[in-house]
Amino acid sequence: MSGPLRIAILAHSTNPRGGVVHALELGDALTRLGHDVTVHAPDAGGAGFFRASVCKTVRVPASLAPRDVRQMAELRIADYLRHFERAPHRRFDVWHAQDGISGNALATLAARRLIAGFARTVHHVDDFADPALNALQRRGIAAADRLFTVSRFWRDWLKNELGRDATIVGNGVDLRRFSPHGDDTDARLRARLDLPPGAIVFLAIGGVEERKNTLRLLQAFARVHAEHPQARLIVAGGASLLDHDAYQARVAAALATAKLPAGAVIATGPLPQDLMPALYRAAAVLAFPSLREGFGLVVLEAMASGLPVVTSRIPPFTEYLGEADVAWCDPHDVTSIAGAMAGALDPVCRAGLRARGLVVAARHDWATTARAHLPSYEQLRERVDA
């Protein structure tokens, strides 16, 4: 390494989604290693990033987005191009996109020879109904000079589907932020959600989305609730750029016909970041039967907080979690999900999952993830210097 790097990391939004969390944590870790990092994101609402950071951040001026996803993506790409067409905004050695929107923006800048090249992290690949969206997604990957992934599953997908090699960089968790040890935010969180004493909280993170398997999770929870009337299902998060209206309507209809009392299911929407550790500590189980993930960062956050986890027996979870680390389920089988949720309430099982989870979380740190990027970053800087 010939000296500190000036690194531009680009995310699709300022919202607390996995790719944005990864971008900020990577930026902070690289900054602590001595590099000059700026994380960028379009910010139409002016609220800023969902949390403060050690690294620099830039809120790229953005237009109000339409509901149509393709139009929104094209508008956000244009927002990025408008920002980086100004030479003072391009004083970086390394350009790194975290998603398809920023990947397409950097691909266009590279095609115009305004930047020498860029890296792209592929967290996961969506299957859009709109062919134009799928084409944009592929372009934002194929045009990158270096590719990173957070799991073997998506590394192999890139090799098999696109013939591209990628470096696995993994993910981390901030053990200073996520911990089993309570603080004054615990009481604030419980008061905000009006949780009754003795409530058994199943926690779902990511909002109501088909990829998060919310409908089957709701059906599984209804079965568990029949045996544990004090149970609550909290569905937190949900700040997404994609259109989930149709699926959310299906979940709402299922909830309306479910034999559940009022207040048994609580949808919080996005919560302040300082309350997230307390949210994990308030729960009995993280219920995360997701159908597709890049990695599943919330699993590590829950484990670091001492929370037992129910998750899907699919990659990438099977890559970094052992047989005894979580309560496994088949995400396509409501009975399997309900069984894993109920089993995770057993005191002996809970103690084992909690202990194993803390061990797993301790194995994942952001400094290691940051260092995994540096060889590729240096190769990109050499292109700038050539």
Q: What is the pLDDT of residues 234-261, one digit of tens each?
A: 999 876 767 778 989 999 999 999 989 9
pLDDT band at residue 139 using 50, 70 and 90 as cut-offs: very high
pLDDT band at residue 202 using 50, 70 and 90 as cut-offs: very high
d(CA 91, CA 96): 13
Domain-located, residue 288: yes
pTM score over 0.75: yes
Same domain, 189 and 264: yes
Nearest to 99 by CA among 81, 85, 119: 119
Q: What is the pLDDT of residues 283-302, one digit of tens each?
A: 999 999 999 999 999 999 99
Mean pLDDT computed over 86-94: 97
Mean pLDDT computed over 202-227: 95
Same domain, 141 and 217: no
Same domain, 73 and 32: yes
Q: Which residue type is seen at 4?
A: P
d(CA 201, CA 302): 13
Mean pLDDT computed over 194-223: 94
Backbone angles phi, psi at 296, to 5 degrees: 95, 60
Domain-located, residue 329: yes
Same domain, 160 and 221: no
Domain-located, residue 178: no
Mean pLDDT computed over 19-34: 97
Domain-located, residue 35: yes
Query: Mean pLDDT across the chain, nearest whole number?
Result: 95
Domain-located, residue 318: yes
3-state secondary structure of 250: helix
Q: What is the pLDDT of residues 140-182, one digit of tens each?
A: 999 999 999 999 999 999 999 999 999 999 999 999 999 999 9
Domain-located, residue 1: no
CATH code: domain of residue 373: 3.40.50.2000
Model pLDDT, residue 3: 87
pLDDT band at residue 227 using 50, 70 and 90 as cut-offs: very high
Mean pLDDT computed over 199-213: 94
Please give the tally of structural domains in the chain: 2
Mean pLDDT computed over 28-33: 98
Same domain, 278 and 229: yes
Same domain, 195 and 335: yes
Model pLDDT, residue 313: 98
Same domain, 265 and 312: yes
Same domain, 100 and 211: no
Same domain, 221 and 269: yes
pLDDT band at residue 386 using 50, 70 and 90 as cut-offs: low
d(CA 267, CA 206): 11
The continuous run of DSSP H or E covering 59 comes out as: strand 56-61
Tokens of 152: 């073997």
Domain-located, residue 346: yes
Same domain, 247 and 313: yes
> Given a cut of 70, is residue 1 above it in pLDDT?
no
Question: Domain span at residue 35?
Answer: 6-172+365-385
Mean pLDDT computed over 206-223: 95
Q: What is the pLDDT of residues 321-350, one digit of tens each?
A: 999 999 999 999 999 999 999 999 999 999
Mean pLDDT computed over 126-140: 93
Mean pLDDT computed over 117-124: 97
Contact 303, 360 (CB under 8 A): yes
Same domain, 164 and 219: no
Same domain, 104 and 33: yes
Rounded alpha-carbon distances, angstroms, from residue 41 to 21, 53, 166, 193, 236: 12, 13, 24, 30, 22
Domain-located, residue 161: yes
Model pLDDT, residue 70: 93
Model pLDDT, residue 269: 87
Mean pLDDT computed over 228-233: 96
Contact 350, 308 (CB under 8 A): yes
